[in-house]
Amino acid sequence: MTYPRPVAVIVLAAGEGTRMKSSIPKVLHTIGGRSLVHHAIAAARGVEPAYLQVVVRHERDRVAAHIAECDPDALVADQDEIKGTGRAVECGLAALPADLEGTVVVTYGDVPLLTSSTLADLLTAHASAGSAVTVVTAHIDDPTGYGRIVRDAAGGVARIVEHKDATDAERALTEVNSGIYAFDSGLLRAGLAALTTDNAQGEKYLTDVLGYARAQGRAVAAYAIADVWQTEGVNDKVQLARLGAELNRRTVEAAMREGAIVRDPATTWIDTTASVGRDTIVHPHTQLLGATSVGADCEIGPDTTLTDTEVGDGATVCRAQALLAVIGPGATVGPWAYLRPGTELGAEGKIGTFVETKNAQIGAGSKIPHLSYVGDATIGVDSNIGASSVFVNYDGVDKHRTVVGDHCRMGSDTMYVAPLTVGDGAYSGAGTVLRQDVPPGALAVSGGAQRNLEGWVPAHRPGTAAARAAEAALATEQGEQA
């Protein structure tokens, strides 16, 4: 992509967002795995500005800390008590070098579907036309609340009028201001200095810079885009959900075009930061969140949520939940499994039905088939953990670790009381409680010899169904023996 690099991009993120009715600052609400302002920063960073400036005000420290996490190189400027987008840009520009020359792009922190590609096209159009100001516009069916583009007789942009200041005729216009601009830096600096608060809202409107440019005989152009979603901002939680659904639709469609097989796009959620390999089947009601990476030829879902999880080629994950886990190539997980942070399942391994794991490294080919908890453990290769086993890792104060070697065959209902080491090739009997290390090749058992107290049920539970059944069976046996 070839385009003129901007000298700066200023992202406006100072608003309180009262219509969100939330204790969370508006720009910190998330869709597609990123905050609204993170989406804006990512789009801005994509056109490689010399300076990327974010203007903040409401919950300044909280928002600024988040910006530093999203992009450590982004600059933060503070808007003062004077209201308006014009003042916000003025504060942002004042925090940049005074001799700044070139194109300055202005975007918003609550327009999450805006792309770097659109910003690059804006920069190209702005440079080609030689304009002092270029504004991104769109035609929408219901322009209520948006600033209208008022054109002159020649079709040029005469001015932008805010909805509350517009006449009835101007409100009938359907071409709206997106709030996204490319400015000549010198014109912008002079235009901002000329702004006043003489309007219905008592604010400094950035849109008035266009009128200033016209008055100076400078060209003002519009760059109209057909994809109106890229101009839509988030003002309340209804819009948040609406834009989130549209972003997800685009993300899922992109995954399919790259080779993923999504059975039901309507119930599949894939974050913009996640990836899915070629010919991987994604079943309904699956969520791939955060930095999740799924390899090729996998089968994921249904009813599965993977967050920040790595899945190797050819793995199968069914009706499971995983967070900060690694699932090796060809491994199988689920159904009804829960992989907590630190779980690493080796190639061709298995974590089966109703199994929970945490901070557990499970070697290639090893299996935990069902009804078990494995926490703070290392299991070698090709070992089998019997059903209903528990790695007893917590003594009420500290967590302890269990190590199980290679090629072990551990019986059902084994309790591993950590700290504990089970040597290679060891076995345990069903119902064993392991409190001491098991040497390689040993069979560990902890129960005594079985005793049968004959006649106990009829004697101690007379009149019960069990007693009657036992008495009938005993009578039958005695009759057969007679």
Q: Which residues are catalytic?
A: 370
Whether the CB-CB separation of 113 and 90 falls below 8 Å is answered with no
Amino acid at 179: G
The set of residues, in sequence order, having a beta carbon less than 8 Å from that of 389 and lying 6+ positions away, is 368, 372, 373, 374, 410, 412, 413, 414, 415, 416
Work out whether strand 8-13 and strand 103-108 pair parallel, antiparallel, or are unpaired: parallel
Sign of CA dihedral 422, 426, 431, 436: negative
Token output for 130 = 């030689």
Token output for 450 = 């079985």
Whether the CB-CB separation of 408 and 391 falls below 8 Å is answered with no
Whether the CB-CB separation of 299 and 314 falls below 8 Å is answered with no
Number of other CB atoms surrounding residue 60 within 10 Å? 14
Start-end of H helices in 225-372 = 237-257
Whether the CB-CB separation of 104 and 122 falls below 8 Å is answered with no
Distance CA 232, CA 109 (A): 11
Amino acid at 136: V
| H/E segment holding residue 44 | helix 36-45
Amino acid at 453: L
The set of residues, in sequence order, having a beta carbon less than 8 Å from that of 23 and lying 6+ positions away, is none
The set of residues, in sequence order, having a beta carbon less than 8 Å from that of 31 and lying 6+ positions away, is 39, 112, 240, 243, 244, 247, 248
